[in-house]
Amino acid sequence: MKAAVRYYTKTGNTKRLAEAVAKAIGAEALPISVPVDEPVDILFLGNSYYAFSIDPEVRSFVASLDKNMVGRIVNFGSAAMLNSTWKKVKAEADKAGIPMDEREFHCKGEFKGIHKGKPDAQDLAEAADFAKSIINVSSGGKKMKALVTYFSASGVTAKVAKRLADAIDSPVYEIRPEVPYTAADLDWRNKKSRSTLEMSDKNCRPALADKDAPVADADVVFVGYPVWWYREPSIIDSFLAAYDFSGKRVVPFATSGSSGIGAEAPQRMREITGAEVDAGKRFAAGASAEELKTWAETFLK
Ligand SMILES: Cc1cc2nc3c(=O)[nH]c(=O)nc-3n(C[C@H](O)[C@H](O)[C@H](O)COP(=O)(O)O)c2cc1C
């Protein structure tokens, strides 16, 4: 994880915050006149409000950033009255094609006699803690490595899975059957369709197209699928049986017409993997990145 710190300051307040942030993560606090010319995962960007907006220099700095050099921007700053410059910076970051971390540090800053002494020692300590928590060194805790896997027959779960993987910055792997499901295979009204036959046999393990999922690299494996007959499709069982999940945490998630995720799927997933399997969650097809991220991050701490 490589991080850099840039700031824009008029009164020195943001500079002091930048120095606290930089010290906490072992980087150097540099003004925005110094270009980012080495790739970084995170750019901590300190800025403030002046006459209800961010300074034009901050705008042009963000506009000048190369999206191939900056993984994401983490905003921090202080202001006398307004609470956050996040939206203003995000508008510029969007134009530059650079993701903006949703977390930000903001505190009051002294201006014309208001908020005297701010940011104070406590603000600086909080800014430092914030920076550490962003790069996950705060509690000495190592961040869990995630892998999002999914099976999707008609594309609904695929969209949710990709949104989730994007939101938590995880690799994503599609579980594919060796023989793809045709529309006729998916006809749940037909008692003889492939899906009906497979789902009526709880020991059915359809063959997988490959065994390339990078499960070994992950601590937490999210397993997404469409609910079929109130549980996980048999191809999910094949996937779980094909890898070593010992010591890993398995977290199911699903989409469905209306059914919940149920208790049967996680229980079977426990039996197959011998791993810790969470109860999981069913999401609507349109579940937002934010909803998915908030949910997923509870497993990654
Ligand atoms: C064979 C089959 C069985 C299904 N069984 C259920 C079910 O028990 N409950 C439910 O709410 N939806 C059920 N559905 C609907 C799917 O769960 C839903 O359309 C899902 O979002 C499809 O995801 P996908 O596009 O990723 O395949 C079933 C669909 C199929 C094809």
Query: CATH number, domain at 239?
Result: 3.40.50.360
Say yes or no: 68 and 128 in one domain.
yes
Residues 117 and 178 both lie in one domain: no
Q: What percent of the chain has pLDDT over 90?
A: 83
pLDDT of residue 174: 98
pLDDT one-digit tens code per residue, 142-153:
568 999 999 999
In a domain, 14, yes or no: yes
Question: Residues 185-211: pLDDT tens digits?
Answer: 999 999 999 999 999 999 999 999 999
Task: Determine the distance separating the centroid of ligand 1 and the alpha carbon of 198, expressed in angstroms.
Answer: 14
- Going from the C-alpha of 179 to that of each of 236, 238, 259, the distances in angstroms are 14, 13, 26
Q: What is the DSSP string of 211-227?
A: ----GGG-SEEEEEEE-
C-beta of residue 58 within 8 angstroms of C-beta of residue 8: yes
Q: Are residues 288 and 218 in the same domain?
A: yes
Does one domain contain both 163 and 239?
A: yes
Q: How many domains does the chain have?
A: 2
DSSP codes joined into one string, 93-125: HHHHT--EEEEEEEEE--BTTBTTT-S-HHHHH
Q: Answer yes or no: do 152 and 129 share one domain.
A: no
The whole-number pLDDT of residue 81 equals: 81
Same domain (yes/no): 293, 150: yes
Average pLDDT, integer, range 94-104: 92
Mean pLDDT to the nearest integer, 21-29: 95
24 in a structural domain: yes
Residue that is written with structure tokens 């079977």 in the block:
268
127 with 151, same domain: the answer is: no
Question: Does 290 reside within a domain?
Answer: yes
Residues with CB under 6 A from ligand 1: 152-158, 186, 188, 195, 226-230, 255-259
Range of the domain at 130: 3-134
- Ligand 1 centre to CA of 157 (Å) is 10
Which of 256, 258, 259, 264 to mutate for ligand 1's pocket (most ligand atoms within 8 Å of CB)? 256
- Determine the pLDDT at residue 138: 35
Q: Residue 140: inside a domain, yes or no?
A: no
Query: Is 186 a member of any domain?
Result: yes
Choose the final residue of a domain: 93, 113, 134: 134
Are 165 and 128 found together in one domain?
no
In a domain, 157, yes or no: yes
96 and 197 in a single domain? The answer is: no
In a domain? residue 139? no
Q: Is the pTM of this model over 0.75?
A: no
3-state secondary structure of 146: strand
Same domain (yes/no): 159, 130: no
Q: Is residue 215 part of a domain?
A: yes
